[in-house]
Amino acid sequence: MKQSKGKTVIVVLGPTGVGKTYISIHLAQLFNCPIISSDSRQFYGELKIGTAVPSEEQLKIVKHYFIGSHSIFDKYNAGQFEIDVLQLLDQLFEKNNTVLLVGGSMMYIDAVCNGMDNIPEISAETRLKWTEIYKDKGLEYCQEELKKLDPDHYKIVNLKNPKRVLHALEVCTESGKTYTEFRKGVRKIRPFNIVKIGLNRTRTELYERINYRVDEMLNDGLLSEAEPFYKYRTLNTLNTVGYKEVYQYMDGKISYESAVEMIKQNTRRYAKRQLTWFGKDSEITWFHPDQEEEILNHLKKIL
């Protein structure tokens, strides 16, 4: 990537439902720059309602990248995102001094800002070992093992996602170190400036917005959006809040009312994990989404 003197990536981050889209579009208009989405769920073109993608009107106002750019059948991860975004920034900085990176997917933001860590390769034996343990003793047992081996990662990982839990256990077993240690690798130097703006609300306010947004998604047709992909429901891309609960309802495992409450509860839990993760980053300057003037003044002092 070519050296870009004076080029800046403004990262707008925060928990799900906090109000990042509105603020980021306003900032993009003011700085006359494009937006790169770092919300990994919004990458998938088939998933719009349940991932709260910007509206067609909003997408027309500001050029967005990585919105509906992939299919749920594509294998995509934070490592590839790092590569793709750095290549894209190289192009965008030829015309823009500023680019916004907006979203709440923690590992994807870290990948662009700091680079991916050198996670060790997992042997077939180790992978088979934990797969068998998971099948034999269940997810709860694996969660407890992770809590013993890596309590720091246990606090932030999605404990409901077996793939994430098992991967962390595999790394711990394979390396003899914690997964957290690998996530504290040497930070990669970027040829651009990075400014991080965090958005947050009071817990009560945030949770009320999340509950309201879930109701809106259901009213907008979340079930209809999910139904065509029912037979693919085991895909990792569909093992995500909003869709996995809907598929449990479609399987007859839970009632519609339970599905709605579970979506709300799991979304709130995800927001809490996001805040825990972001709370460890001292480079983030935090604002309430209503503090638009303060955010702009802060950015003007830096840029």
pLDDT in tens, 244-296: 999 999 999 999 999 999 999 999 999 999 999 999 999 999 999 999 999 99
Given CA atoms 56, 58, 60, 64 in this order, what sign does their dihedral have? negative
Asked if the structure places residue 124 within a domain, the reply is no
Please indicate, yes or no, whether residues 177 and 192 belong to a single structural domain of this protein: no
Please indicate, yes or no, whether residues 148 and 294 belong to a single structural domain of this protein: no
Nearest Cα neighbor of 34 from 18, 14, 12 is 12
Is residue 38 within 8 Å of residue 108, measured between CB atoms? yes
Q: How far apart are CA 139 and CA 159, in angstroms?
A: 8
Please indicate, yes or no, whether residues 163 and 267 belong to a single structural domain of this protein: no
pLDDT at site 120: 75
Give the predicted TM-score (pTM) of the model: 0.82
Residue 184 binned pLDDT confidence (cut-offs 50, 70, 90): low
The residue count of the chain comes to: 303
- Domain ranges, residue 169: 131-182
Assess whether pLDDT exceeds 80 at residue 117.
Answer: no
> CA angle at residue 14 from 263 to 106, to 5 degrees?
80
User: How many domains is the chain built from?
Assistant: 2
> CATH number of the domain that 161 lies in?
1.10.20.140
Residue 185 binned pLDDT confidence (cut-offs 50, 70, 90): low
Is residue 36 within 8 Å of residue 102, measured between CB atoms? yes
Asked if the structure places residue 36 within a domain, the reply is yes
Is residue 136 within 8 Å of residue 183, measured between CB atoms? no
